[in-house]
Chains A and B, each alone.
Chain A
């Protein structure tokens, strides 16, 4: 049936079921994205001002001259590298490869706990880790018990605390991706290497990692995209503070829009975030195509 040449009317009829979805996407997703591009070049403010005017690149010039913005860019970078690249990715891979060797009950238990942390609503995860890192919280209790120095984590190292929180919350995804990838490596390959006397690290480096490199790429992309848009977790734990020391770009954007009422300016920041996201997204699609 589908091999018959399709005239324009016929292909239109065939595409008809997609119409409600397309309408929804155009109105509520493409619309806002287009509006975002437009707003970024205006000076729209929140305070009842009737009209806004086109200001060209002024918002972007202002951003790159603003220390708080540069601070937010830097913190976003730290947050992404520490929590996504180093944290979730490495810990996820480590857990996945340990699980292959571990006994079944330990595997199930650890996997279960890590996945629960992932499934919990973002705000709940935020509260749990807020309690964990507070001065009178669990982390300091443990450190005290181990006779290690305690400190007020959310004050001294807020960006590290929220990064660890994101590791806690997001590692399960990497773990699942890597478990699936490792399961597809044929048993004989690992065994042959083992018989040849290749040690654990060398096997990992020369055999395992090259064989799962596409999963690594996919996982890194998706982790990074997810990490770039984290808001609730940081909001609940620190509100970006103290003194902006855990204020990543989404929190900076929110503050500019709703505390300083600069919608146009905040949207310019949003557009930058969107562009970075799109670039990662394109790389991700490229990786998928290579895989197919």
Chain B
């Protein structure tokens, strides 16, 4: 009996070591491109290979931290994604309320449509959106791009928001109702404050998705001065002659940091059960 136990635990240790080794191999493969960007950003003489910087320097950051390379595109990104996120979250919270609080056939049909739209490849409709925006003169405007961004992220935001809202018990609202609060007041004063973490997840998730989105601004904006960082980063190739990889790496680090930090903020709530929030649970 005890022999069996010993072999069992010995086998477990072996298996743990084997699993550790396998994971470390994968981690090493995944970390190489990340190591390149971090090391190149502080390398005075960066090329395309991962290598320790011969000369450690912040010159690359100094070179890109000027208005036309970094600050303007980042500000554009912030305006685009900030406004669109605000619009998405407000519309999603309002739309989720009747969906979560009342059961009706229309509501169910609407929710099914929302879920269906969540999965559609938005990339596919960008050519018609471009053609449409030319017709209605929304092309190359920030507000047009913001409205489209908000609409494209809205289905998923409604879906998430509704699932989070379902978690707020109705009884808590009834007190507010008896005090004569309108549904709007009870949404604002009772429901939303109780689902703060849920609202945070929807907000951060929408923002992160838009911040990284390349195709939408690439199609809908034309003027270089309006371009967000996701598109302007291409200027490191072509327009400026030879590519200065160190500066490209430094810019990539600056541009990526906000979303990495935001993700950390909500990572624990998304956690292992992330899987698109309630989406997988239905």
A→B interface (CB under 8 Å): 1-2, 6, 11, 14-22, 24-25, 27-29, 31-33, 35-36, 39, 44, 91, 95, 98-99, 101-103, 106-107, 109-110, 113-117, 119-124, 127-129, 131-132, 134, 136-138, 141-142, 168, 176-177, 179-180, 183, 215, 218, 221-222, 225, 228-232, 235-236, 250, 253-254, 257, 263, 266-267, 270-271, 273-274, 277-278, 280-282, 284-285, 288-289, 291-292
Contacts and interface: CB of A to CB of B under 8 A. Distances in A.
Nearest to A2: B102
B221 interface: no
Question: Which secondary structure dominates chain A's binding surface?
Answer: helix
A103 B22 CA distance: 12
Contacts of A231: 123, 214-215
A2 B125 CA distance: 39
B112 to A, nearest CB: 7
A39 B33 contact: no
A272 B280 CA distance: 27
Contact of A176 (B24, B119, B272): B272
Interface string B124-137: 11111111100000
Nearest to A135: B48
B234 A110 contact: no
Nearest to B150: A24
A35 B48 contact: no
A229 B122 contact: yes
Contacts of A36: 124-125, 127-128
B213 A122 contact: yes
A95 B142 CA distance: 42
A252 to B, nearest CB: 11
Interface residues of B, number: 98
B187 to A, nearest CB: 7
Contacts of A15: 98, 106-107
Contacts of B263: 115, 119
B255 A124 contact: yes
Contacts of A31: 132
Interface stretch (B52-60, B62-70, B88-96): B88-96
Interface of B: 15-16, 18-20, 22-24, 26-27, 30-34, 36-37, 40, 47-50, 87, 90-92, 94-95, 97-99, 101-104, 106-107, 110, 112, 115-117, 119-132, 147-148, 150-152, 154-155, 158, 174, 177, 183-184, 187, 208, 211-215, 218, 230-231, 233-234, 245, 248, 252, 255-256, 259-260, 263, 267, 272-276, 279-282
A22 B95 contact: yes
B34 A116 contact: yes
Contacts of B158: 21
Contact of B260 (A21, A35, A114, A119): A119
23 contacts: A1-B174, A6-B102, A11-B102, A15-B98, A24-B151, A32-B125, A98-B23, A102-B23, A103-B16, A103-B20, A109-B27, A113-B27, A120-B259, A121-B211, A121-B259, A141-B49, A180-B280, A183-B272, A229-B122, A236-B234, A263-B131, A266-B127, A274-B124
A101 B14 CA distance: 10
Contacts of B102: 2, 6, 11, 14
B168 to A, nearest CB: 15
Contact of A24 (B91, B97, B177): B91
B245 A131 contact: yes
Contact of B282 (A21, A177, A215, A291): A291
A113 B34 contact: yes
Given A215-B280, A274-B120, A285 B27 contact: no
Contact of A101 (B15, B30, B47): B15
B22 A98 contact: yes
A288 B154 CA distance: 20
Contacts of B124: 36, 229, 250, 253, 270-271, 273-274, 277
